[in-house]
């Protein structure tokens, strides 16, 4: 087999796995957008915040230590205990549910029926607020996140491919774990929204508020639930990216990578978010591999956006988005 093709296969596999992570972030957007029509700009910051909270809880950091020390003249930083990863994850989920409740109660409940652009502006405000609170609560240092996920080259794949192609593929164990978890999460979400009572109520709310009320669905409850689920998805994304490249501000920027994914997949489609993520992940890696050297590299920075732009021109509703039909 020609060497180039073998390389391309490795690049393809790595692209698929990067795509899964993009899909994970995009999924958080789709959930909230479907149920409430809000494009949640804060999704990326939610991923950052949840990862920071997870690290903080695991290390036994005192929340708001900086503020406490400044006011009381004390010098506390740590409680002096560490929390096992699983328990810390459960506690972080609780924090994200609390966050969902607060967001609904103090912001979006007062904005029901407002223009989409106003709701969007509110999420921008929310993003900066949450970023500030995160730094204040857990300080802004770059943190290492280790919840015990395996990392490093997968030896089995390496030796297996070496035997076949005379060239060992480099596949990171973390990417494999991320793919499996993302697949489970996506499957779970699809089953949840199609078959559970709450999922059915969620689809009802997404479709028509008045009708949902008339069959006895509490809008408030559904919105809190959706924001909680989005918070949970953000946490999963935060764990994956945080483990990969440390918990730091740039983590919140992965949300921007989710935008082209959404344009490709459609803002209202869960399968669309997955397929869109995979296309972007594979596309940008293969493009860099094949075309990158000719144009001086760094194509990964813009490839996704240009692809999304082309899509916008020819299929504005995305691959799986609901068709836009204007009746006259």
Tell me which residues in 216-245 interact with other proteins (CB under 8 A). 216-219
- Told to check if 215 binds other proteins by CB under 8 A, we report yes
Region of 45 on the Ramachandran plot (φ > 0 left; ψ -120 to 50 alpha; else beta): alpha
203 part of the interface to other proteins, by CB under 8 A: yes
Interacting span for other proteins (CB under 8 A) from 2-10, 167-175, 204-212, 239-247: 204-212
CB 241 within 8 A of CB 182: no
Both tokens assigned to 129: 């607020």
Residues near 302 by Cβ (< 8 Å), separated by ≥ 6? none
Using rule CB under 8 A, residue 113 touches other proteins = no
How far is Cα 275 from Cα 254, in angstroms, rounded to an integer? 17
SS (H, E, C) 242-253: HHHHCECHHHHH
User: Nearest distance from residue 215's CB to other proteins, in Å?
Assistant: 5
Indicate which single residue of 211, 291, 309, 310 sits in contact with other proteins (rule: CB under 8 A).
211
| Cα(281)–Cα(258) distance, integer angstroms | 11
Torsion of CA 30, 48, 90, 176, to 10 degrees: 70
Least distance CB 50 / other proteins (angstroms):
21
Least Cβ distance, residue 21 to other proteins (angstroms): 25
Six-digit token pair at 126? 């929310």
Tell the smallest beta-carbon distance from residue 207 to other proteins (Å): 4
Shorter beta-carbon distance to other proteins: residue 79 or 192: 192
Q: E strand or H helix at 70, and its extent?
A: helix 65-72
Binding residue (CB under 8 A) for other proteins from 72, 115, 148, 210: 210
Q: Give the range of 25-33, 167-175, 177-185, 213-221 binding other proteins by CB under 8 A.
A: 213-221
Strand spans (E) along 54-102: none
Cβ nearer to other proteins, comparing 82 with 214? 214
Residues at the interface with other proteins (CB under 8 A) = 191-192, 195-198, 200-201, 203-204, 207-208, 210-219, 322
């Amino acid at each position: 087999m020609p060497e180039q093709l073998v390389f391309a296969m490795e690049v393809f596999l790595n692209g698929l796995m990067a795509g899964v992570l993009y899909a994970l972030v995009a999924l958080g957007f789709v959930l909230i957008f479907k149920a409430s029509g809000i494009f949640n700009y804060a999704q990326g910051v939610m991923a950052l915040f949840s990862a920071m909270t997870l690290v903080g809880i695991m290390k036994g950091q005192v929340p708001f230590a900086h503020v406490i020390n400044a006011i009381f003249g004390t010098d506390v930083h740590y409680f002096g205990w560490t929390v096992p990863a699983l328990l810390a994850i459960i506690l972080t989920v609780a924090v994200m549910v609390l966050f969902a409740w607060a967001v609904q109660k103090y912001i979006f409940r007062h904005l029901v029926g407002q223009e989409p652009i106003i709701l969007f502006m509110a999420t921008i405000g929310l993003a900066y607020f949450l970023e500030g609170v995160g730094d204040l609560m857990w300080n802004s240092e770059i943190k290492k996140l280790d919840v015990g996920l395996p990392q490093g080259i997968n030896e089995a794949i390496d030796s297996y491919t070496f035997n076949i192609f005379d060239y060992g593929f480099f596949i990171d164990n973390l990417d494999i774990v991320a793919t499996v978890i993302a697949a489970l999460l996506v499957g779970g979400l699809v089953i949840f929204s199609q078959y559970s009572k709450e999922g059915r109520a969620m689809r009802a709310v997404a479709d028509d508020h008045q009708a949902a009320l008339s069959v006895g669905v509490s809008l408030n409850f559904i919105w809190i639930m959706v924001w909680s689920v989005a918070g949970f998805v953000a946490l999963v994304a935060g764990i994956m990216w945080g483990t990969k490249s440390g918990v730091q501000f740039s983590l919140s920027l992965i949300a921007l990578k989710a935008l082209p994914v959404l344009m490709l997949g459609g803002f209202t489609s869960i399968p669309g978010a997955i397929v869109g993520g995979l296309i972007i992940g594979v596309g940008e890696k293969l493009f860099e591999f094949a075309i990158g050297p000719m144009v001086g590299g760094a194509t990964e920075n813009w490839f996704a956006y240009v692809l999304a732009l082309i899509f916008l021109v020819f299929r504005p509703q995305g691959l799986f988005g609901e068709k836009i039909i204007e009746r006259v």
